[in-house]
Structure 1
Amino acid sequence: MKKISILLLAIATILASCSIVPDDSYQITGSGWEQYNGKEFQILVRDTSETGIKTIASSIIENGKISLQGNIDHPQTAFLGIYTKDNEFCGWKQDFIAEPGTFTFVLKEGEKKASIEGGKYNDILLKDIPAKKDIANANKNLTEFAEKYSSLKKEEQDEKAQRKYQELYSVYSKALQNGYVDLFKSHNDPYVRLLCISHLRGLKNVKEELANLEKEIGLVPEIANYYYSMKKAEEMAKNRKTVGVGSVVKDFTAKNLEGESFNLAKVLKQNKYVLVEFWASWCGPCRAEIPHMKDAYENFKDKDFEIVSFTLDHVQKSWKKASDKEQIPWINVGDLKAHSSPVVQMYGVQGIPANFLVNQEGEIVAVNLRGTQLDEKLEELLR
């Protein structure tokens, strides 16, 4: 009788211990992150908040190791990123699917991406598809040529080599796309089909597909985020139609890094032409334009020309660091709301860099002037 009681107690203990481990929990450990010691490893998902993203888990990297845990009700498209304690992006990002399970992230020396072990949906979408023979071969050919291309002297990186790279990229991109299309059409798990959507370009009847998935699994966060993004995209598309050449620019007020407010309408009254430029510290092409803009500013600032830069940064330290490094001499403002900024949405800005050249009456006379195009247009208008 005593043995039976002990056995029953042991079984009860096991069952109790099992019951406190929720089905929606995840645990993540990893190694090989020594170069980021002291930085914060974050898992971020898209949401319908003002910034459009939220951090669901984070861990300070110590001795090259990470350790995170948490809960998530439904699998979601996410990405892994490394940031400073002030939330400044450190230049490392990788796609991931946030889902229940046990994971290991290992960053090997010389590798740009971490190897991820664990997760049903991560295996299906981010491991099995890229490993398909035709996709893997196409990626191998592209990677090998890219390495060869980067080792060429500048004069050897001619149009023929560039065309070859584009051809190899097109083959890889098409193979990858076909892999996700096949998965989307054939898999019986609605979550697999839902998570496929972010990998599909030009998917027809997206709203209809989402509505069908909603009937199967309910209004889960991934579907809610798509609805929210589509609504915002429609609003921005409408706004873009109102900020073309010949239309009147939309007024706004924003603050610079010192907290001083600038009103666009007031700046327009003080100058014959104003360039309204949208940029961000993390945007390479934006920063590549700054030397050209500096030349134009130096040549025409004494002829009643001004520039108003509006940043899509959401971290002030990143904005300030880039502004100081680039030594931006013109009006430099923002609201730290990134793509969710009312100003960004009002102008229908989806991609950056983007700019609008405006005359004193507020009429847009040119858009998206790049490189010497800005100098040439100003020379035409202010000579």
Structure 2
Amino acid sequence: MKKLLFALLLPATVIAQKNYAIKGNIKGLKDSTLVFLQTNQGNTLSQDYAKNGSFTLAGKLDGADLYQLSFIGYKEGVELFMDNDNIVVNGDATNLKAAAVTGSQLHSDYISFVKGFTPLSEKLGKLAGTINAEKEGKKRDSLINVFNSTRTKLMVYTDTYLKTKPGSAVSSFVLFQLNKLYGDANALEERYNSLLPSAKNIVYAKELERIISTAKIGAIGSMAVDFTQADTANKPVSLSQFKGKYVLVDFWASWCRPCRMENPNVVAAYQTYKDKNFTVLSVSLDQAKDNWLKAIAADKLTWTHVSDLQYWSNAVAKLYGIQSIPANMLIGPDGKIIGKDLRGEELQQKLKELLK
């Protein structure tokens, strides 16, 4: 009686924990063949030995994903995009890849995508190999045009699929696998935001959110990520201390000749607008403090300077993905990035527009 009462008090989700079950019937499969379900990482989740071509696998999955049904002694396997579903697999041991899978809407969604994706993907792969082997010239240029056209078709096909299946977890999987096609964090985010919550209950959705968040660091229109580094007196200085001002975060180094050549332009901008709610915060990629301090004095850089003296491993440079210097970003009073790599007259013109 007590056990029954306890069960009645449990939430329904606790009582009805769903597991997966895979029932297989493979014609010609040798008796005692070990059949096992694996993750993408190669971890075995469940296994069974075939008898008269039949086998049964069962267990509980952490979530929807692409899994591999493998057979010892056979090169081919069966891809299964599934969650905790009841699945039936029917096929022939001579062509396992063609096995019919029923019982999972997710798997049907996956097969639907793969059907149109595979020929385009294979064409791109062949074109890439041909282009790499071809010498510069009209033929190579023509092949590149075909490659770009096919790539566009693949993106259109993917976008159509995402619009057709906005509630399927397969859409998050597809978008994650092909995220580099879009090359732009805003374009990727727009597509991700078009998906329904039911499509985001999958590990790939979290990865997409991380990719988008990381890619937007330092992008124009995004909020600047705060950081703290030591100044020339070894006192901590944070970017957030300058909120309410227009601040040019300038990445440079004493050993960087182009940076030193650009410094007079930064000095001119600072002198012109320092009394109009504008300042500069320089981040140095120096290693030797003496060289850093001498360059500051020699170039008359009379604003705040910070560095961890870690060269290209400078934490702020790594945070913002700085690949070359000089580099800069202009941040508005609200902390939003409003300009990047503004140099010379371009920097003066931008500040004139903002602070006239």
Give TM class, smaller chain. 0.3 to 0.5
Which structure has more relative contact order (CA 8 Å, sep 6+)? It is 1
Structure with greater Cα Rg: 2
Which TM-score applies when normalising by structure 1?
0.37
